Structure formats: structure tokens, C-alpha cells
Amino acid sequence: MGNSKEKRIKKLKRNRIWPYILGLFLLLFIFVGVLFAALGSSAVGIIQSNLIDSCAQSERIAEVFKDYNSETKEKTEQKILSNIDILEEIEAVSVRDKDKNPIWSTSGEYPSTDESIGTGFLLDDEDKNYSIILYDKETQPFSFDDDEITINPDYFKNNNYSNNKTPDITDTFANAKLWFVIPVNDMEVMILNNITLYYQDFIMMITSVLLCAVMIAIFVIYYLISVISMILGVRRTTKVIYTDMITGGDNQLSFIRNGTKLLKKNRYGQQNYAALHLEMRKYSSFCTCFGVNKGQELIEDFYKVLRKEIHKKEALSHQENAAFSLLLTYTDKNELEARVAKMRNSLNKVLPEMKMYFNTGIYEVPANEIDVEQFYNNAMIACEMSGDESENSIAYFDVEMNKQKLWERKVENDMDRALTNKEFQVYLQPKISTSEEKLGGAEALVRWIHPTEGFIPPNRFIPIFEKNGFILKLDDYMLEEIARVQSEWLAAGRTLVPISVNVSRAHFTREDLAEHICAIVDKYNVPHSVIELELTESAFFDDKNVLLNTVQKLRRAGFKVSMDDFGAGYSSLNSLKELQIDVLKIDADFFRGADAEERGLLIVSEVIDLAKKLNMKIVAEGIESREQVEFLTEQECDLIQGYFYAKPMPVPEFAQKYEM
């Protein structure tokens, strides 16, 4: 799998989810902190408000002592006692002189500032110069220092207000005992206040905190639902990524993922594994005959059949068309091939009325290697290189196959540049007349002179071009080169002989082929009669009507048409009956082998006789001995082509050797 694709899938599965999950925990942490801060702030605010109220009350009490002296003493004391009865928060009032000596007290208690735990100024007014004395820190619900008020946890701990005991909110929540010390004249007036947090204060505080908590909970729930929805969405998307759209089962990505897991578990080689590419031949033809929907139904049925054949520690997926990838365990090759044969038989039972053929490529996985994608690619190469020679072929991958694929890739990478740079050179092989043993024609053959590979023979690149379609460009190039050579020779006053040029069967898919060929040749003002167009008999088995119409047009235009390699493969006399051609080329295989002297030569004799009766010229190719030449001369063969007379040679060499 490509690195970028793998990164994107990992990002989809992980990277998009974890930030949201981490964000959720972070928000929860922040919200809990905010909740406790709101709780503390509410409590402190209420306490501070009560403190300010107590300060105001204490100031009113202290005002009474401004005119305090021996004459007003009794009246002042009586007034203070009456106020204490009215003001519930004030419990006691004491007065002492500037030397700390007691003067008068309602309770007989005179606090000492030396024993105070905290003192400070509550009000911002600098003219109000008085302090607050807080005794016994552990018995007070809050602490006071420099106008800062903090809740005292020791108070709640000592009063059993812990996590396992909730205070009764109908009771007073907290009572803080504070002495307010206010200087009046040369005295210190000390007022003992009871700072009380009542039920309604507690309810207000809890209500505000609960409202904040509800808002936080709603947001957290919404966020949590969003995260869960995203996780489920990612899972659904991931499932789609790993699902084949035709079979509904595993696709290639899933095969690579599952196969990698299996091979990682097999690090110590407990099992032998093999990667397989199983492909139905001519699936496109099936779809052409029965429709694409039927083809997809067939693939679904194939997948179900193969799924039943797969064991727990194996993997299967659909690839493209009617091809499947498999990762199978096996003990030896015989057992593996038997399983493949069983699978093919099971697949053939899907449509018992139709015989189907399958190719299988196999790559035996080395121990301790886990590159499933490469292993399957090797199996595909083996399947591709196996060809269609047998009914159900099985091919094992080897190093030579990989070298061949690398060579094909190099050829495909270089072919366009080679055509532009004229690295494809025209070679001519003469055709010698048997009657006069002089030049009667030639065949144009292509050779590739590569800048780094050097001379490349045709059998190393022509099959590749026929497979990838580049042969069409190469044929046009060769036809134009021959037209150009013939034009130059004509201008030089040389006598022209027909030169044959191959026209691949791939050309006969276009109905305007005759017009296309005429346009190329006519650019050089060359007589059509000196250009011979060779086609193979295999072209007859494609679109026969297009072939017949094209040949008729070419012959009417003055071109000679020949059938190359007659006798190679499965020749049909029916093609000679329907296809009107000018030249018949007898394949060289008739002159080779142990039976060449008897059966082969007998067939050649009969073919020559048949061609003569059909007004065709005969060319025998691949002739390498004097005996063959004498036999063909005796049979009145028109032209002979082969190494006996000359090998293919570059155009300049040909022109020098055969001065015309």
C-alpha cells in the first residue's frame, strides 16, 4: 500500500478521534474547577456581605461611646444593653482604655489582640481604623487576613461535614465569632459579632452553583454525543473503505491488512503461506454476452464459493473484474495445487451449463516476511506470464518473471522517446526470384538500436507493443519510412521493387484504415504498387467484415496485399476463399523438423499449386539451404526469402548491395 494512502487511513481511524476525546477530558477538568470556584466564590461572597453588615452594626454601637464619661456612663451602658437585645448578631460589648485596662463589659470578657489569630481591615475607607480579631481558627468556618476571606476546611472536618455526612440545611450552616475592635477617643470599643450563614443564604448559593452545573452538564453531554457520533461515523467510513462494492466482502485494502496480521503472527514459520491470484478468463466477453449486472452477480457467487474454501488463518478478497486474491496455508505444492483445483471445480458449478477457465498465479511467501501487497503483485505477475495455453493454468512466480516485467516497464518507458529519436531503424531482407535469381522484392523489418541497451531484437519488444497498443504507432512509422525510402530511390532513378510492410491485426478495428494508409504513402508521391501490405491470417478472426472491406479498398487503390505466416497456427482454407489477396507467404515451419522432407514439402507443394490456381504469387520465407531453394524452384515458387540469400540489413547496405 502506498505510504500516502496508509497515512490517510490511519489519520481517519485515529488522529481525528483522539483530539476530541482528550478535549472532552480537558473540558471536564476545567468545568469541575469552575464549579468548585463558583461554590467557593458564592460562599465567600455571602460571608463577606454578612461581615460588612456586621461592621455597620458595630459602627453604630461604637458611636454611642463617643460621649462616654463618668456622667454619661450609666445612660450609655443602658443604651448598649438595649441595642444588644435588638440586634441578634451582637452578643457582647466590652470597653477598655488605651492601656488595655478593662472599663466595662456586658459579658465580662475582654479579648486580647495578642491571642488573635488574624487581624486586618475589612472596609476600604481609610478613615475607618478598626480591626477584626478571629479566635480559635479550627472552630471558625472561614479565615480572614488582609481583607481576604477563605473557607476553613478544618471547621467542616471537625464538625463532621465530610463526604460521608451532609449537613442539615435547616440548621445554621456556620457561626463565626468575631470581635470588632473600634478605637473611640482614648478607648477601644470591642463588639462581639455572630456572623451567621442562614438557610436562605445556603439555598441561594447552592442554586447558583446548580445552575452552573446544569449548564456545564448539558454542554458536556452534547460534546460527548458529538464525539460518540464521530467515532461511529469513522467506524462506518472505515468499514466502507475495507468493503468491496460488488461482493460486500473484503477488498484489497482489507486483504493487505488481514494478511499482514496473519503473517506477523506467523513470525516463527509455524505455517507455510502462499499468495494467489485467481482469475477467470475472458470475463469481459461474458459481460458482453450476458450484461454487466450478470457479470457482477457471477462475481458475488464466486466470492461466496471461495469464502467457504477459506480457513480461519487465511485471507480472501475480490480484486477487479473476476479476479480474487488469496493468502492460503499449505504443506506442500501438491496439496496447494489440489486445493486450487478444488476451488476451480467449485467455481465451475456456479454455472454448470457453461465451461469456464481460470488462470492462477502463485507466490510462495518466504518465512519472516510480511509485505502482502508485494507478494500478491508477484502472484499477479506469475498469472499474467502463464498465458492461455492450457485450460486451467497454474504458474509459480520466479525471478525471471520479475525481470521480464521490469523489462516490459523499461520498454514502455522508452518507446515514445525511441520513436521520436528514430531509434527504430528499418532493415530490409531481400526476396529473390526463383526464375532469374535476382532481386524481386524485400520485406521491411524493424530493429531497435537503444542508446544504452544497444541492438534489441524484435522478439523482445514487438510482443510488448502488440499488448499495449504501441504497435499501431510503430506500423505507421515503418510505413512512412518505407514510403520515404521509395521516394528517395525513385528520385535517384533507381528501379523500384515492391517492399512489404507489416500491418498488425490491431489496425483492423478502424473502418477508415485504407484511407489512413493512403494518406501516409501519398505524402511522398510513391506509386502504391511498390508498397506491399502484409497482414497475418489471425486478423481474419477479428471483425471479418471490416477486414474484407479494407482489403478491397487497398487493392482498388493499387496496393498489393499479402497474407503472412500462412500455415502458422491453425490456418483456414476458408480465409483464402473469402479474402482476395495478391501474395501468399508460406511459413518457415514447413521447412523445419524431421518431417520436412516428406509431409511438410508435400503440403508446401499443394499450397503452391492451390495459390497458383487462385492467381496468387508465392513467397517462401525462412529458407536456409540449397536443397530447399531447388525444391521451391521446381515447384515454381515465385520468391524466396531467407538466410540462404541474405539476412535483414540496414537500408544503406541493402541499397549498395542491390543496385537497381
Residue-range domain boundaries for the chain: 16-213, 252-397, 409-654
| Contact residues for 413 (Cβ-Cβ < 8 A; gap 6+) | none
**Residue 573 predicted with pLDDT over 60:** yes
**Residue 627 predicted with pLDDT over 50:** yes
Round the average pLDDT of the chain to a whole number and report it.
79
**Residue 462 predicted with pLDDT over 50:** yes
Helix (H, G, I), strand (E, B) or coil at 619: strand
The DSSP code for 530 is G
∠ CA 533-538-543 to the nearest 5 degrees? 90
pLDDT of residue 197: 56
Taking residues 442-458, what's their average pLDDT? 93
- Of 14-28, 283-297, 567-581, the one with minimum mean pLDDT is 14-28
d(CA 286, CA 292): 8
Kind plus residue range of the DSSP H or E element containing 271: none
- Of 192-196, 292-296, 618-622, the one with minimum mean pLDDT is 192-196
pLDDT of residue 569: 53
- Percent of the chain past pLDDT 70, that is, above it, reads 75
Count CB neighbours of 534 within 10 A: 21
Model confidence pLDDT, tens digit, residues 78-87: 877 777 765 6
| Contact residues for 74 (Cβ-Cβ < 8 A; gap 6+) | none
**Residue 530 predicted with pLDDT over 90:** yes
* pLDDT confidence bin for 42, thresholds 50/70/90: low
Residue 439 or 57, more confident: 439
pLDDT of residue 561: 92
CA dihedral of residues 520, 521, 522, 525 (deg, nearest 10): 140
CB 194 within 8 A of CB 177: yes
Taking residues 487-515, what's their average pLDDT? 89
* pLDDT confidence bin for 528, thresholds 50/70/90: very high
327 φ/ψ angles, rounded to the nearest 5 degrees:
-125, 105
pLDDT of residue 541: 58
Q: Left if phi > 0, otherwise alpha if psi is -120 to 50, otherwise beta: which for 197? A: beta
pLDDT of residue 306: 92
Taking residues 370-379, what's their average pLDDT? 88
**Residue 591 predicted with pLDDT over 80:** no
Taking residues 585-592, what's their average pLDDT? 78
CB 346 within 8 A of CB 305: yes
Which residue, chain included where needed, has cell 482469475? Answer: 279
**Residue 240 predicted with pLDDT over 90:** no
Residue 542 or 124, more confident: 542
**Residue 258 predicted with pLDDT over 50:** yes
* pLDDT confidence bin for 137, thresholds 50/70/90: very low
CB 493 within 8 A of CB 455: no
CATH code for residues 252-397? 3.30.70.270
pLDDT of residue 131: 52
- Taking alpha carbons only, the member of 630, 625, 659, 627 closest to residue 645 is 625
**Residue 654 predicted with pLDDT over 90:** yes
Distances (CA, A) of 44 to 14, 49, 86, 605: 45, 8, 27, 122
> Residue 118 CA to chain centroid, in angstroms?
70
- Percent of the chain past pLDDT 90, that is, above it, reads 27
Model confidence pLDDT, tens digit, residues 162-171: 344 434 333 3
Q: Long-range contacts made by residues 518-524, C-beta under 8 angstroms, separation at least 24?
A: 518/557, 520/476, 520/479, 520/480, 520/483, 521/479, 521/483, 523/480, 523/483, 524/480, 524/483, 524/484, 524/486, 524/487
409-654 sits in which CATH class?
alpha beta
pLDDT of residue 88: 64
Distances (CA, A) of 346 to 290, 296, 307, 341: 21, 18, 11, 9
